[in-house]
Chain A
Amino acid sequence: MVDGRLNFEFLRGGEYQLAAAFFLGFGSALALCYRASLRSLKMAKPSSHISVRKIDGVTRIDFLDRNILDELNIHQIGEELLKSVESEFRPKVIVVFTNVEHMSSAAYGTFMKFNERVKSRDGQLRLCELKPRVYEGFVITKLNRIFSIHESWAAALDTLT
């Protein structure tokens, strides 16, 4: 800097154009990165409500929430459940309810849709380790006649063919 003015004397001829192109390119790249990071923040996936593990060819699904009540959560759970079998043919799935203390009627609907999806893929679905009050809900709604419900993981595993 000379007398308060920027000194560009070190750039001569075509160097001006090269420098301008460099700054323009660098600026554009920065702007793109910034926009991409904003977009990824907006599209960030909601935290998962289930854990899905594969154990000797059987898909084990555990709930991370104690309550399956809230409709928004139930919708997300439904999508996660369907995704867990989307690439499988004849899936063998055991859903473990150990952590679940409350379930609402909307949750029953979600499990029924999941049951349909598993059946449509010629698969098998078992539920296990339901707390007595959660199991009572299945009995009241008579959905214990639709679902195959078992006391333990081992008991559920034994029924898979």
Chain B
Amino acid sequence: MTTPAPLFHCDHTLCELRTGLELVQDEVAAALAAHGYEDGAMFAIRLALEEAIVNGFRHGNRSDPTKCVFFRATIDSVSAEFEIEDQGPGFDPRMIPDPTEDDNLEIPSGRGVMLIKAYMTDVEYVRPGNKLRMRYAKLRA
């Protein structure tokens, strides 16, 4: 009988996009692998993290180099939970135009949130909208 991997938890303050992303993606990938997540799950989580952290820096903090993004993750063999918080004023996700509507289809931006919602099991924006909580359930019913 193998011993289950211990609960993974991390808490980072990311102050630069590229180095922050690399740090987070590497740590999360290692934790997911240790808990037996399949390639498809790792692909989905990697993409959602990329979109969420880039949005935090670019749209939340408006690329202000004095602002950071706070990242927390908890991963076990059942689910992977993430919290990404920026230092911006927040936003109302209901105000983002649906990029799949015919009229919006040719607009080149606005697909990040959509991809996050498609790939993660639960997605929640905490008011005022500068904190994103998302969860990937490894064992789906």
Contact = CB atoms under 8 A, between A and B. Distances in A.
Do A and B belong to a common assembly?
yes
Contact of B115 (A72, A116, A140, A145): A140
Contacts of A29: none
Nearest to A110: B108
Given A70-B18, A104-B51, A133-B40, A112 B106 contact: yes
Nearest to B57: A71
A53 interface: no
Counting from the closest, the 9 A-B pairs by CB-CB distance are: A109-B108, A105-B111, A105-B112, A142-B100, A112-B108, A140-B118, A141-B111, A104-B50, A69-B50
Given A137-B47, A142-B105, A146-B105, 5 more contacts: A70-B18, A104-B112, A112-B108, A141-B114, A143-B105
Contacts of B21: 70
A142 B115 CA distance: 11
Nearest to B104: A142
B51 A102 contact: no
A108 interface: yes
Interface residues of B, number: 23
Nearest to B108: A109
Interface residues of A, number: 22
Interface string B35-63: 00000100100110011001000100000
Given A69-B50, A71-B54, A105 B115 contact: yes
A40 to B, nearest CB: 26
A34 B108 CA distance: 44
B47 A108 contact: no
A116 B51 CA distance: 24
A69 B25 CA distance: 12
Contact of A141 (B17, B40, B46, B115): B115
Given A104-B54, A140-B118, A109 B105 contact: no
Nearest to A70: B18
Contact of B106 (A71, A105, A106, A146): A146
B90 interface: no
B20 interface: no
A113 B108 contact: yes
A141 B54 contact: no
Interface string B99-141: 1100001101111101100100000000000000000000000
